[in-house]
């Protein structure tokens, strides 16, 4: 019986070689797409990152009653005179630098003795940060009770870490996972002028939280009012003074956070 399979000069069949060539091209194309996707993500996470407003940050850093320690994993804000043993791990919103929240928590730390650890999410997006809550609570070993909270996308990540904490605080944010049966104390702080985490979105996501969750809407506060990093695209127009919003945040945290 005669073999009629086409072959090259060396006698090797041509079809298998063509298949290998097509496979190499396909794998090369997939590899190029993966490289482009990774490059796109890296560019997106680094472009348009919102930093702290210089004035509020400088004023806060100059306060001798506030001790600021940058560990790399997060910024630890602690009262110079000693704290209450209460702590909050705070996760920033998407593409907002950790420094953009230092001024926000100055009253909480200085006036109420609460330690705040502001995390530095990988690639400036909380969803890309798989580190456990202990990574950040270990930065302040003197604290014995911990709440976890976050702003905007950081709050969504805080909801995922909440089972390892003593309480959950949402700052212009809401949960995407079901915590109704968790038994956790939950405080939701929002703004009436928020154009991103709108009052309607906050209300729609209430079903994911325990029935005894506390909701506080701050009159005149926008999405960016929960930080000190300037205006944010898509947000509403704030009418509340930033210092007043910070004081409301401090008062609410002082009355809510679990005590040792």
Q: What pLDDT sits at residue 27?
A: 67
- pLDDT at position 20: 75
Domain count, the chain: 2
Instruction: Based on the fold, state whether residues 209 and 127 are members of the same structural domain.
Output: yes
Residues 149 and 213 in one domain: yes
Q: What is the residue-wise DSSP string for 236-258? A: ----S-HHHHHHHHHHHHHHHSP
Tokens at residue 65, please? 């009653």
For position 29, what pLDDT does the model report? 67
DSSP annotation of 224 reads G
What pLDDT, on a 0 to 100 scale, did the predictor assign at position 17?
A: 77
Q: Quick one: 37 and 121 in the same domain?
A: no
pLDDT of residue 1: 47
Whether 139 maps to a domain, the answer reads: yes
Residue range(s) defining the domain that contains residue 25: 11-47
| CA-wise closest residue to 222 among 152, 149, 118 | 152
Q: Is residue 2 part of a domain?
A: no
202 touches 188 (CB < 8 A) = yes
Distance CA 156, CA 94 (A): 11
Q: How far apart are CA 209 and CA 146, in angstroms?
A: 19
Along the 260 residues of the chain, how does pLDDT read in single tens digits? Answer: 445 545 555 555 667 777 777 767 666 667 666 655 554 444 544 556 899 999 999 999 999 999 999 998 999 999 999 999 999 999 999 999 999 999 999 999 999 999 999 999 998 898 889 999 999 999 999 999 999 999 999 999 999 999 999 999 999 999 999 999 999 999 999 999 999 999 999 999 999 999 999 999 999 999 999 999 999 999 999 999 999 999 999 999 999 999 99
pTM confidence score: 0.85
Adjacent-strand bridge partners of 50: 96
């Amino acid at each position: 019986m005669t073999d009629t399979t086409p072959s090259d000069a060396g006698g090797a069949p041509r079809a298998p070689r063509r298949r290998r060539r097509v496979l190499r091209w396909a794998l090369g194309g997939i590899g190029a797409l993966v490289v482009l996707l990774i490059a796109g993500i890296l560019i997106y996470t680094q472009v348009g990152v919102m930093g702290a407003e210089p004035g509020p940050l400088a004023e806060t850093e100059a306060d001798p009653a506030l001790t600021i320690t940058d560990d790399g994993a997060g910024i630890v804000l602690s009262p110079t005179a000693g704290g209450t043993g209460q702590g909050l791990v705070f996760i920033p919103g998407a593409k907002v630098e950790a420094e953009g929240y230092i001024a926000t928590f100055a009253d909480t730390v200085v006036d109420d003795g609460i330690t705040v650890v502001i995390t530095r999410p990988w690639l400036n997006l909380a969803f890309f940060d798989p580190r456990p809550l202990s990574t950040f609570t270990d930065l302040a070993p003197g604290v014995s009770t911990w709440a976890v909270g976050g702003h905007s996308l950081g709050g969504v990540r805080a909801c995922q870490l909440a089972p390892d904490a003593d309480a959950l605080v949402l700052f212009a944010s809401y949960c995407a996972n079901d915590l109704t049966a968790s038994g956790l104390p939950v405080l939701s702080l929002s703004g009436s002028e928020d154009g991103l985490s709108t009052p309607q979105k906050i209300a729609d996501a209430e079903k994911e939280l325990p029935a005894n969750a506390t909701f506080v809407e701050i009159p005149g506060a926008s999405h960016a009012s929960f930080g000190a990093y300037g205006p944010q695209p898509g947000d509403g127009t704030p009418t509340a003074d930033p210092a007043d919003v910070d004081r409301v945040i401090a008062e609410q945290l002082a009355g809510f956070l679990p005590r040792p």
